[in-house]
Amino acid sequence: MQRGLIHLSHFVLWLHFAQPSADLPLCKESDYHFEYTECDVLESRWRVAVPNKADTCTGLPDPVKGTQCTFSCSEGEFLDMQSQQCEQCAAGTYSLGTGVAFDEWDGLPTGFVTHGVTLNAWNAHTNCSNSTWTPKGDYVASNTDECTATLSYAVNLKKSGTVSFEYFYPDSSIYFEFFVQNDQCQSTESESRWVKISETNWSKYKVELNKGNNVLYWRTTTYTLQGSAVKPVLLKNIAISGVAYTSECFYCKPGTYSAKPGSARCAPCPADTYSTKGATVCHQCEPDKYAEASSGSCKPRPACTNSDYFYTHTPCDSEGKTQLMYKWIEPKICTETIDGAVTLPASGEKQTCPPCNPGFFVTNSSTCEPCSDGFYSNGTACAKCPVGTESVVGFEYKWWNRMPNNMKSSIYRQEFSDSEYRTAWEVAGEYVYTTPGHQDTDYLMLTLSVSGYRLPQSMAKDSDMSELSRITFVFETLCSADCNFFFLAGYNQFNNDVVEHWKGSKGKQSYSYLVQSNTTLSFTWTFQRTEDFSTDRKYSADVAKIYSIHITNVIGGVASQCRRCALSSAKADSACVPCPPGHYMVSGTGVCESCPSNTFIRAEQSIGKAACVQCGPNTKRNKAYSGCVSDCMMAVQMSEGALLHYDFSALTNVTGFHSSPRFTIRGLKYFLRFNVGLCGKEGRVPATCVGNVTESQKEVKGYVCRSTVVPSEIRSQSMVSSQPFIIGDSLIGVTTDTTLNGISSPEWLFPTASSLPDVIFYYKSSETTQACKNGRSATIRLRCNPTVAAKDHITLPSNCSEGTCDGCTFHFLWQSQHACPLCTKNHYREIVSACIQGIQKTTYVWQQPLQCYGGESLPAQKVNACVTLDFWLKFGVSTGAIAAVLLISISCYFWKKTRKLQYKYSKLIMTSGSKECELPTADSCAIMEGEDAEDELMDLTKKSFLTKIRSFSRERTSDGFDSVPLKSSSRHQREEEDSDDVYIRD
């Protein structure tokens, strides 16, 4: 109900000032202005008069019914509040109709707010109060430090409208976003916040706005880690449409004009003219003065110097002649009439034109034209490629008589964008060089545009071929200041990424860059003499030179030579075809032969046996014959004869890890992010690193890659990633050796006391840089550690905290139980327990220290029945007792037998004759009747067992023989005994 009522704030204000007062004069038209009240639910409003100053006059006009809220004026018109009608803007002014424009930045316009903050709690100590957007006259510039600078503007739209602005965003070290918040504080979707990198010049940006309150935000955050200078983001010509009306027209700013009434915009003044604020025409500068385009005043012309002209070669004439000549830098701002001024040197004598570049031929008019398809040339005349060969197409520029058609030079200057009429690079016969600029901070750009890339038929292979094209150029920089020379590759039409950067003077050298995907559209070389804005044409003699540029496999290119190729058949007119996978072409024959086993084809070569490259240890050739892979299985022969088997399959997934926190000079916290894809079969997911600072994300893939990540709340992301690059895109080999193919992994980087050797994976990257002319490489040491169950325990060398000591070779240590050899029977032993209650246990335990994992499992405990020592003791005693009884029984038995024999013997003696030495004759061979128990037992049966034993012992004579008593009279018995004794002794 309350929102449906008319808002009477202005109406009540009018009533207050409308009260008559005898002390105040009546208000004149210059003492007040008209405004509209807020719109009600019926889209109606009132027009009220508001005094310019309070309590200065009385008698304000009465409120009247205003125009509908949806009413608006067209471009070039304004709403006359007195008549409430649209009127045309006068000459010298302009209007957007239903919008506002901001094109003067001597200060922040009313309504704009800027402030600097830090979005990261860990960096709260950083003072960001001065990190704001700064007005620079024609534009406003962002901060370049590691704070977050925000520029905002709030506007209420009565209908749907737009916001547009021009920006220059050249540096990918800055994240730049633009977003809008509405009445409900809902922000623009994060995907549409990204602002694209400027390619070479000012870019335009336009966004639709909804009806109601809109808050516009321009926000920048710098992510520079090298401490180098960062180029700020620049904004200008901000225009907003959709406001209810504009009650006034805006004056044209100095350097612009509007000649006719009803102008929607002001036009810039051309060079050597100027204008003041609200101008209807531009005024010509006096002859001794000059002005650049869009200037508000003229400057005195300085005396001409050697830096105000440049030299070039004229195009070849009909006689095939050219000459060296000099030209003033346009637009010419110096004068030759002042004392000390130099004049333009005279042109040189005519000379014979240099030859055409390879792939071109000389026409009758002495111009150079490209050869047709299937033809080649060395720069003079075209010749058809012989049968069995194909043309090798590309572009090779080494003679610079004129700028090639697919190359263009331009200048970028931050102060204004109209620089196409000036020359940045000029031809000079044997090279192309940078001409003196108006300012030393100018960016002098040379751009080579290409249509795309295509491999020759004989080299057409699977899509995983690493080299699609190669660009090589020879350059030189001669500088007395801190000049910068950049080489950029355009990955799409909106973005050029810096590939390499050289600072200061550099001797004549060559640089090569591989194109690995068919997306690059252009290459740009940019030279800047200095970054110091305080200097003005102090280093004009500093120069960059490019001697030659050669790019291969370009669609629409020309051929400088023909190459033997394999033929589809033996026919003379047969077409060239690629050799089958794993085959190379024999030089000069066109015959394809198979490479040896476990070799792959070198990407940049397919002719000759040298194209076959042997796979490294413990790797196998892939199906496309383009590289080698590891299946994560290997065996290591130890010096003592043991054979260790490894299975790294558990480590095949892409693993990512961070370095320890690092800080820039200004306190920015960042991490180095490494992604590793150790091994695996073909078709595996590669390790990927992404740069997401800018709208155009850069992505690199391989075995090992690195990027720099910064904790951030920008775009609701926890991390912002930048500067991704490949460390290893091919696997060289897997071995325990510390050196392989020139790549070394010293043991002192990761000391160990274990006798078990580390398994080392070796990787190589084909991407070369200024610092790493042979490309980057990486080694990953797998160390057995059964206590580490995590699969991502990867560390960097303690004395090379960034993973590399030289910037080219990176080293990693990966400790894991999955890096141990597979367990075998030799890795455990058995322990047999004592026999307890008839049970005996056999337990198996690992040998210590444990140096294996997986493989053969530890056998389960065994339980066996057994006999205890107590049982054997009892058994032994019982057995001994039984044996003793048996022994005694046997002894008694044989004793009885002996006694019987003695008895018989004695009886024989008694019955023998008197002849000496003659035995008695036996009466019988058997026991006679009646000679049984009584005769055998004699008197023993009448004695106890012990008595018999004692008797037996007493009856032994001193000489050890037994005496046998006989049944006779005592005397006769003694005689018999004596006789027996004598006989026995005899």
- Tell whether the torsion through CA atoms of 247, 252, 258 and 264 is positive or negative: negative
Q: Is the pLDDT of residue 446 over 70?
A: yes
Summarize pLDDT for 721-778 with one digit per residue, the tens: 888 899 998 999 999 999 999 999 999 999 988 889 999 999 999 887 778 888 899 9
- Predicted pLDDT at 418: 45
What mean pLDDT is predicted for residues 561-582? 72
Instruction: Please give the structure tokens belonging to residue 896.
Output: 């009885």
CB 381 within 8 A of CB 579: no
Question: Which pLDDT value is given to residue 712?
Answer: 66
Given this model, what pLDDT does residue 548 score? 96
**Beta bridge mates, 150:** 115, 219
Beta-carbon contacts of 732 under 8 Å, excluding residues fewer than 6 positions away, are 616, 619, 628, 740, 741, 743, 762, 763, 764, 777
> Cα separation of 614 and 403, whole Å?
45
Top pLDDT among 785 and 963 is at 785
Predicted pLDDT at 959: 47
Report the CATH fold assignment for 101-244: Jelly Rolls (2.60.120)
pLDDT of amino acid 937 = 41
Token pair, residue 21, equals 């007062």
Give mean pLDDT, residues 412-435.
73
Q: How confident is the model over 499-513, as a mean pLDDT?
A: 91
Give the SS3 label for residue 657: strand
What integer is the mean pLDDT of 937-952?
A: 47
Mean pLDDT of 354-363: 90
* Per-residue tokens: 633: 């299985």
pLDDT tens track for 149-176: 999 999 888 788 889 999 988 777 788 8
Q: Which of 282-286, 319-323, 324-328, 414-418 has the highest mean pLDDT?
A: 282-286
> Which tokens in the block code for residue 175?
């994240």
Percentage of the chain surpassing pLDDT 90?
27
Listed residue (587, 591, 585, 511) closest to 544, CA to CA: 511
What distance in Å separates the CA atoms of residue 575 and residue 565, rounded to the nearest whole number?
9
Query: What pLDDT does 969 receive?
Result: 44
Q: DSSP states of 662-705 as a string?
A: EE-TT--EEEEEEEE----STTPPPEEEEE-SSSS-EEEEESEE
**Residue 374 — left, alpha, or beta (φ > 0 → left; ψ -120 to 50 → alpha)?**
left
Q: Which CATH number fits the domain 354-561, given the four candidates 2.40.280.10, 2.60.120.430, 3.10.20.80, 1.10.10.60?
A: 2.60.120.430
Amino acid at 805: C
**Residue reference for tokens 């950049």:** 486
Range in 680-689, 734-743, 942-951 with the lowest mean pLDDT: 942-951
Assigned token pair, 771: 């610092």
Mean pLDDT, rounded, of the chain: 80
Q: Give the pLDDT confidence score for residue 93 in this predicted structure.
A: 93
pLDDT greater than 80 at residue 913? no
- 456 preceded by cis ω (within 30°)? no
Please report the pLDDT score of residue 816 as a whole number.
93
Q: How far apart are CA 78 and CA 242, in angstroms?
A: 14
State residue 231's pLDDT score. Answer: 80
What pLDDT is stored for residue 938 in this prediction?
A: 43
pLDDT at 300 over 60: yes
Which helix or strand (DSSP H or E) is residue 10 part of? helix 9-18
Using CA atoms, how far residue 246 sits from 249, 321, 924, in Å, is: 7, 64, 171
User: Is 830 in contact with 841 (CB distance < 8 Å)?
Assistant: no
270-274, 583-587, 804-808: segment of lowest average pLDDT: 583-587
- pLDDT level of residue 666 (50, 70, 90 thresholds): low
Confidence class for position 935, pLDDT limits 50, 70, 90:
very low
**Rounded to the nearest 5°, which phi and psi values hold at 806?**
-120, 0
Model confidence at 115: pLDDT above 80:
yes
pTM of the predicted structure, to 2 decimals? 0.70
Parallel/antiparallel/unpaired status of strands 140-141 and 148-157:
unpaired
Q: 596 near 612, Cβ under 8 Å?
A: yes
| Same fold? 101-244, 633-819 | no
pLDDT digits (tens, 9 = 90+) for 176-235: 889 898 766 666 665 567 788 776 678 889 988 888 888 999 998 887 665 566 788 999
Q: Which helix (H) or strand (E) holds 975?
A: helix 970-985
Q: What is the CA radius of gyration of the chain?
A: 54
Query: Between 572 and 48, whose confidence is greater?
Result: 48
Helices 970-985, 869-910: axis angle to 10 degrees equals 110
Quick one: pLDDT at residue 226?
58
**Average confidence (pLDDT) over 682-700:** 80
What DSSP string describes 178-210?
Answer: EEEE-TT-PBPPGGGTB-PPPSSS-EEEEEEE-
Query: Does 678 score more than 50 pLDDT?
Result: yes
Amino acid occupying residue 470:
R
pLDDT confidence of 399, banded at 50, 70, 90?
A: very high
Question: Would you state the pLDDT for residue 299?
Answer: 92
The helix (run of H) or strand (run of E) holding residue 781 is strand 777-784
Q: If you average pLDDT over residues 376-386, what whole number do you get?
A: 89
CA distance 43 to 34: 19
Of 143-147, 304-308, 868-872, which gets the smallest average pLDDT? 868-872
End-to-end Cα distance, the chain: 162
- Percent of the chain predicted with pLDDT > 70: 80
The domains of the chain are located at 32-88, 101-244, 354-561, 633-819, 828-865
Contacts of 949 (CB under 8 A, 6+ apart): none
How many whole angstroms separate alpha carbon 438 and alpha carbon 887?
Answer: 133
Measure the CA–CA gap between 775 and 701, rounded to whole angstroms.
Answer: 15
Top-tier CATH class for 633-819? mainly beta
* Between 534 and 74, residue with greater pLDDT: 74
Question: According to the per-residue pLDDT averaged within each range, which of 412-416, 603-607, 679-683 is highest?
Answer: 679-683
- Rounded to 5 degrees, φ, ψ at 245 are -170, 165
Residue 918 confidence (pLDDT): 54
pLDDT of 123: 54
Where does the pLDDT of residue 907 fall: very low under 50, low under 70, confident under 90, or very high at 90 and above?
Answer: confident
Q: Is the pLDDT of residue 78 over 80?
A: yes
**Segment (H or E) for 883:** helix 869-910
Residues 512, 772: Cα–Cα separation, whole Å = 12
Predicted local confidence at residue 983, as pLDDT:
40
Q: Is the pLDDT of residue 564 over 90?
A: no
